[in-house]
Structure formats: C-alpha cells, structure tokens
Amino acid sequence: MSFAADHLLDRLRLKRRLRLWQGIGIVAIVAALFALAARFELMGAQEHIARIWIEGIIQDDAERDMVLRDLAEDDSVRAVVVRINSPGGTVVGGEALYRQLRMLSERKPVVAVMGEVAASAGYMTAIAADYVVAREGTITGSIGVLMQSANFTKLMDKIGVEPVVIKSSPLKAVPNPMEAVTPEAKKATQAVIMDMYDMFVGMVAERREMTLEQTLKIADGRVYTGRQAKENGLVDATGSEEIAYEWLETEKEIPPGLDVFDVEYGEEDFWMTAKSTLLSGIFDKTLISEGLRLDGLVSIWQPNLQ
C-alpha cells in the first residue's frame, strides 16, 4: 500500500510540473505572437523610411524586384534609402534593378548612399535614385561593359590536344576558348558590347543631366573616388547617410525623426554571403572563377591583379 501511495504522489507531482511547463510554454508562444503582431503592425502602419541594402555581385533577382514593388505600394513608407556596396554584376541584373528603382521613385523619394564600392552595375543602380551620396573615398564609376574569354589553342597544341567543334555557323558560341577569335567573331562580339555600353551611357546622360559628349568623356571605364565623382557630376554629394536624410527633409518635406526600418529579403545564407562579397568579389574575380558565376555580359569593376 505504501508503494502505491508513493507512486500516486509521484504521478501527481509530475502532472503539476507538466502543467507548469505547459503554462510557461503557452505564455511564451502568446508573447511571441503578440511581439510579432506588434512588429508587423509597427512596420505596416507607422510612417517610416525604408532602407534596402544592395551588396555584392548584382544579378537579376525576382524576389528583390517584388520587394521594391511592395515598397512602392506601401503607403507607410515615406521614402527609400538604397545602401550600395557592390563592384557591379551582370548587365541584366543592373538594368533590372535600375528599372525597378526608377518605377519606385515615381511613387516616393529614393536616395542612394554608396559604401566602399559602387562601380559598374553598382553605379548603374545608384543613378536610378533621385539623389546620390558617396563617401569621399568611395570607388565608383567604371562605366562600361565587358565579356571575358581566353584562348587555349597554343596550350592545346603543346600538349597534343585538338578540339573538335561542330556548329551551325561560324559565329555560333564565340568567343570560345577552344578556338582562335576570327575578325568576324571579334566584330560581332564588339557590336554586342557596344550596344550595352550605349545603353549604360544613355542612362548616365539622362539621370545626371549631361550631354552625350560630356558623358563619353568620363565613361571610358575608369573608376573615380567619391571626391572626383562629385567634381565631374556623377554624384550629388559626399558624406554619410545623414546627408540623405537631410536632403529628404529639405527637398522632399519628409518629417524629421522618422524611424528607419531595414528591408530584408532572401534566405539567410544569402545575407551571410553578401557580407563577405565585397572583398571576395573584388579579389576572387579571376577570369575562370567569374566566368563560372556570371554568364554573359558583365558590368563589373575588378583591379588588375596580374
């Protein structure tokens, strides 16, 4: 009998503990739900400035485009600050981001704030904004387009390898590392490059209110510091992010003191990659590694490490 009573008491104690932990768990879940609801209500209803980060290699991104469309439709977003820290990316990626930011700016003010690097497609992104701010030491410019390949024919001759290429026409799949570039292939490839370059130059001329002649003088592919970019008209001001908020207050009558909410998108590993992309993107952009990641025409700045 004593054993049965002790067993019963133990079961009762266990049930009490279970109920206690169940109650704690329910309270924690309810508190989390309230906090989450409050956060969404705060970001969805309270007027604020949205800040979106464009970092690393710029590529076409449907999710990013959807986020920008949502910002345009969100009445609680009074303005958007675009923080750019990118050496560039694909022409399509830069063009898509440029077009999306231009549509966003039709609904609310957009300010671009450059970080360490905002070159090539990164600069293409910046000029979509209504106002462009750079640090004095920001690397920017690099207005141009490139397509990279290699010629392995001499190496293959030395090791006794003869490539066999069968194609429908001489200009199919050129440039090709397994073939010497013919004058016709070079001319056709150059025409594609120049067409994309003309598009880029046209964007700069329109957005920076320059003549074509003025734009071509500074659009020779070179990079500039933020100070130089301010002198030649590629940016509007040099300084910190505070310059962007001051401009929004004085020129767009955005109330001072609004909260600034970061807009997050993409998976977690994307952000982990993005934080390290600046250095790895610059110093790992060799011909082969970049060719594996970026397919087609690119507008990207890379220092010559040879």
Numbers of helices and strands, H then E, in the chain: 12, 9
Please identify every residue annotated as catalytic. Answer: 120, 172
The SS3 call for residue 265 is: coil
Burial category of 69 from C-beta neighbours within 10 Å (exposed 0-12, middle 13-18, buried 19 and up): middle
Q: Where are the beta strands (DSSP E) in the chain?
A: 48-58, 77-90, 110-119, 131-134, 139-141, 223-224, 237-238, 259-263, 298-300
Separation between Cα atoms, residue 198 and residue 203, nearest integer Å: 9
Q: Residue 14 has which token pair?
A: 């266990």
Separation between Cα atoms, residue 234 and residue 141, nearest integer Å: 8
In the chain, the N- to C-terminal Cα span, in Å, equals 89
For residue 207, report the phi and psi dihedrals to the nearest 5 degrees: -75, -30
For residue 122, which of 105, 97, 99 has the smallest C-alpha distance?
97
Separation between Cα atoms, residue 183 and residue 180, nearest integer Å: 10
Cβ-count burial 242-261 (b if 16+ within 10 Å, e if not): ebbbebbeeeeebeeebeeb
Q: Let me know: does 117 contact 148? Beta carbons within 8 Å.
A: no
